[in-house]
Amino acid sequence: MTDTATFSPLRTPTATRQVGHGDMFTDHMATATWTEGLGWSPLALGPREPIPMNPAMIGLHYAQVVFEGLKAHRQFDGSMAVFRPGENARRFQRSARRLAMPELPADDFLRAVDAVVGADESWLSDDPALSLYLRPLMFATESNLMLRPSREYRFLVIAFVAGGFFGDTVKPVSVWVSHDHTRATPGGTGDVKCAANYGPSFVAQLEAQRAGCQQVIWLDATERRWVEEMGGMNLFFVRGRGAGAAVVTPELTGTLLPGVTRDSLLTLARRLGLGVSEERVSLEQWRSEVRQGLITEVFACGTAAVVTPVGQVRDRDGDFRIGDGEPGAVTMALREALVDLQHGLAPDPDGWMRPVLG
Ligand SMILES: *Cc1c(COP(=O)(O)O)cnc(C)c1O
């Protein structure tokens, strides 16, 4: 773990582009609290500092904790803008509802994001490889160990300087199919961003690494047959090549996290004239369509990963390579379309970028 204090005096953390996911936190945080009967306190912006914590607080023991992830980008004209924060505000409300937590009004979510981005503008370099990753979080703070929802919560937003999640290149990642562990179950919490979804996934991630892979592929929990996600990212398959190519992403069955990047890429793919569909894809189908040359590219996407090609698949029933193992043309075109829009270099017909004043 890095002592973030050592970064503060620098104020120009752009010297290094090889920055990890959460190594370089900024100076400020926005917070608010919720109390039963009183509702939400006014939002406060202050220094990012340790938070007091009762050792019996419900969030710590029973995982009443939800979070979000979104990014602010430096625009081509020097201004700053956040990518589709309204979507994250809505998803944060859905996550809270699922965990029997109070919903934060979307306006408060947006104001908290604006406040942190505005206060920490100097951390956001004009290097397009860097962005500000924002992490809204809400957790149960009441000290009580009854098995019931907390009557007190804290909401906060912190931020860090983010490079590429997989480094600055778009080198394809290798993936390992998990047959022993699943991420989400029907009726569970796989379609919301709650902290309790992630700790249990680490053991499979470690297994993937022991198998020489960077990421884990999740199959559905019921049949262990349908491909759902890669680690904490959504997946896309590309069928065909050139003008006739189509992108396919697993449909939202309730056990997949509905990614904002996933949704954005579906729109951008249509705009690029690609075929687009949401359907279930089985592991068997993935393998055989790759062997037949029908599936030509595969990539993962998410706020942190942006668009990351998948090159190799390792599986107990036989490994296979996607195409020639290099980033594909459709993958790179979609990545560029997304990144250009995020930096104000492409038209934004749906108003996805929310400007923030420094
Ligand atoms: C956050 C997340 C994603 C990606 O969502 P984005 O909104 O695109 O960042 C995908 N899968 C899981 C499991 C996630 O937690």
Mean pLDDT of 60-82: 97
99 and 41 both lie in a single domain: yes
Reported as a pLDDT band with limits 50, 70 and 90, residue 358 is confident
290 and 309 both lie in a single domain: yes
Task: Calculate how far, in angstroms, residue 54's C-alpha sits from the geometric centre of ligand 1.
Answer: 30
183 and 315 both lie in a single domain: yes
- Ligand 1 atom with the smallest distance to the CA of 261 is 8
Report the residue count for the chain. 358
- CATH number for the domain that contains residue 332: 3.20.10.10
Tell me the C-alpha distance between 336 and 358, whole Å. Answer: 27
149 and 178 both lie in a single domain: no
- CATH number for the domain that contains residue 82: 3.30.470.10
Q: Is the pLDDT higher at 9 or at 233?
A: 233
Q: State the DSSP code for 120.
A: T
Rounded to the nearest 10°, the torsion over CA 112, 199, 163, 67 is -10
Tell me the C-alpha distance between 250 and 342, whole Å. Answer: 24
- Best mutation site among 94, 201, 257 for ligand 1, i.e. most ligand atoms within 8 A of its Cβ? 257
Q: Find the domain containing 108 and state its range.
A: 2-163
| pLDDT confidence of residue 243 | 84
Q: What predicted TM-score, i.e. pTM, was given to this entire model?
A: 0.94
| pLDDT confidence of residue 242 | 86
Q: Are 132 and 161 in contact (CB under 8 A)?
A: yes
- Ligand 1 atom with the smallest distance to the CA of 260 is 7
| pLDDT confidence of residue 168 | 59
| pLDDT confidence of residue 9 | 29
Q: State the DSSP code for 255.
A: S
What are the pLDDT digits (tens) for 114-125? 999 999 999 998
Helix axes 260-271, 85-98, angle to 10 degrees: 140
Residue 355 lies in a domain: no
Strand, coil or helix: 221: coil
Q: Are 164 and 300 in contact (CB under 8 A)?
A: no
Task: Provide the number of structural domains found in the chain.
Answer: 2
| pLDDT confidence of residue 299 | 98
- Among the three residues 106, 136, 163, which one is the final residue of a domain in this structure? 163
Ligand 1: residue whose CA is nearest its atom 15: 232
Residue 29: Cβ-neighbour burial (10 angstroms; 0-12, 13-18, 19+): buried
118 and 8 both lie in a single domain: yes
| pLDDT confidence of residue 165 | 60
Q: Return mean pLDDT, the chain.
A: 93
